[in-house]
Structure 1
Amino acid sequence: MTAPKYDAAWVGATAISTRPTTSVAPEVIVAAGVRLVEAHFSGSPCAPVRDMIGADDIAAAYLVQQYFNDARRARGARVVGRKIGATSEAVQAQLGVDQPDFGVLFDDMEYGDAELIPIRRLLQPKAEAEVAFVLAEDLADGPLDLARIRRAVGAVAAALEIVDSRIADWNISFGDTVADNASSGLYVLGSERRTLGEVEPVDVTMSMTIDGREVSSGNGAACLGDPMRAVAWLAHQARTFGDPLRAGQVVLSGALGPMRPVHPGGVVVATISGLGTVTARFSEEEQ
């Protein structure tokens, strides 16, 4: 069933109103975090962390994510936004959940439109086309109804997210992907910027090609029924977790169609109606 456009009741039902707790011991959280940190910085995928924290302990998974992301901050990475994952019914069914997840975008994850991306930075990359939002207002307090969410959006752009997994063979449960910063990798924003007065995200259509061949297609409704709905969900979650969305941050709202593997030397182009195109170019392996 296609989800409705922004649905305040759904957002309220699925957003966590108080940060969840876990019985997983702190030293286990640290051990799981260390496993992911070592995989990230060594470039060698690791075993799933569900053997330590369980497959569906959301609280434990977000604590591991926090450890992982704190390690990146300690090495100088700066938070510039958020990403939302598991926004399609198919992915949620695969992971056995009924809600999305979220992760952090760092400054070293962004590449310019058509800029060459060193493939060596990635382990098991896959590309997906998304609608990106650039916030013009903080969402730290006050109501989070549709009018407020829309007012906070300064610009809308086409985006390619290059998702990646530190976990070998993408052998992930929901807890694994949450812990792994929502399987984040890199991202590219298109050069065109639009306002919500110029384009309605739920109405966009998308086509994605790799090396000139269409490999994915979709539309705005594929992202939680409406990308604005995804942003509203994230705004609630971010506030609950004590790190609300801020002006200037980028929000990747979730895939508009199936993600596809990318390869060394590949060129990925997404065309999103009303938002133009966005291109990700990957270096040859030896580069």
Structure 2
Amino acid sequence: MTDDQIRDYGDELYAAMRSRTAIRPFTERSGGISLDDAYRISLHQLQRRIDDGERLVGKKIGATSVAVQRRFGVDQPDFGFLTDAMQIFAGDPVDIEATLIQPMVEGELAFVLKRDLTGPGITVAEVIRATDCIVPCIEIVDSRIADWRIKYEDTVADNASSGLLVMGDQLADPRKLDLVTLGMVLEKNGEVVSTGAGAAALGSPARCIAWLANTLGRYGHSLKAGEVLLSGSLVPVEPVQRGDFICVHIGGVGRVSTFFT
């Protein structure tokens, strides 16, 4: 794609986000897009947000579990960026009509780094050594693509279908946990709707962070000290609407909840 096409597609996604209006998938348009095109579109949309005064605070990997990949018809993880405008404080309500179009929730571990990780070649052991703490998190995924009719290039272009994130206020040391076997329970309106374990995300949430460091490293980006890194859902995505109360419990880590208004 030409630079003008990249800019136009990025501007279209940005306008869709601001107006809460879904658009036709890029992969259904004439010529389609490549993965590199999709990544450049994502960066253009991110720059628009930064120009608006938002600040980059982290990165994410998505579609790490088989359940999530099957749900959206993709066959590999995706990646995106997190800004301060996407963060919700633990326990605070989420205004579902302020920025979201077709939201769903996921339960995740958020890694907070104490030193940089620059791929390729990052290992799981290096991820653990570089992590300051992990925090329970609810990621609210959303898509600017109509009816979640996405292919892999669509979701990469659309910032890995990111919406918002709700981080808990309990901190855990990953060196004291078995990240493969730790369990997660997602409750919706007081009822358990799904359960999962660390192994659901590429075998371990730490392996997801290594994948993210190595993948972004090929594009010249590092994972930075102090950044929040979402490691992928351990449970299937769950649709939400106004009035829903979501709570995620993670064994050995803590809980986080939010209410959709």
TM bin, normalised by shorter chain, reads over 0.9
2:106 alignment counterpart: 128
Distance between the aligned counterparts of 2:120 and 2:203, measured in 1?
Answer: 25
Conserved 8 A contact 2:116-2:225 = yes
1:229 corresponds, among 195, 199, 207, to: 207
Structure 1 position 175 matched with structure 2 position 124: no
Q: CA RMSD in A?
A: 1.8
| DSSP-derived class of the 2:247 partner | strand
| DSSP-derived class of the 2:232 partner | strand
Structure 1 position 279 matched with structure 2 position 254: no
| DSSP-derived class of the 2:174 partner | coil
Which piece of structure 1 moves more, 196-205 or 255-264?
196-205
| DSSP-derived class of the 2:192 partner | strand
Structure 1 position 71 matched with structure 2 position 67: no
Structure 1 position 92 matched with structure 2 position 69: yes
* Unpaired runs of at least 5, structure 2: none
1:59 corresponds, among 10, 18, 36, to: 36
Q: Per the alignment, do residues 96 and 44 of structure 1 end up closer, same or farther by CA in structure 2, a change over 3 Å counting? A: closer
Distance between the aligned counterparts of 1:176 and 1:277, measured in 2?
Answer: 32
Q: Per the alignment, do residues 54 and 164 of structure 1 end up closer, same or farther by CA in structure 2, a change over 3 Å counting? A: farther
1:144 corresponds, among 122, 125, 132, to: 122
Distance between the aligned counterparts of 2:142 and 2:120, measured in 1?
Answer: 35
Distance between the aligned counterparts of 2:119 and 2:249, measured in 1?
Answer: 35
Deviations 1:157-200 (A, max 9, x none): 11100000011211111111110000000001111101112222
Distance between the aligned counterparts of 1:113 and 1:266, measured in 2?
Answer: 15
2:83 alignment counterpart: 106
Distance between the aligned counterparts of 1:94 and 1:129, measured in 2?
Answer: 15
Conserved 8 A contact 1:54-1:175 = no
Conserved 8 A contact 1:128-1:260 = yes
Deviations 1:237-258 (A, max 9, x none): 2222112010000110001010
Q: Per the alignment, do residues 57 and 149 of structure 1 end up closer, same or farther by CA in structure 2, a change over 3 Å counting? A: same
* Unpaired runs of at least 5, structure 1: 1-23
Distance between the aligned counterparts of 1:95 and 1:269, measured in 2?
Answer: 23
2:185 corresponds, among 199, 207, 211, to: 207
Distance between the aligned counterparts of 1:53 and 1:237, measured in 2?
Answer: 28
* Aligned sequence identity (%): 42
Q: Per the alignment, do residues 149 and 118 of structure 1 end up closer, same or farther by CA in structure 2, a change over 3 Å counting? A: same
**Structure 1 stretches of at least 4 aligned residues deviating more than 3 Å after TM superposition:** 51-56, 90-98, 140-143
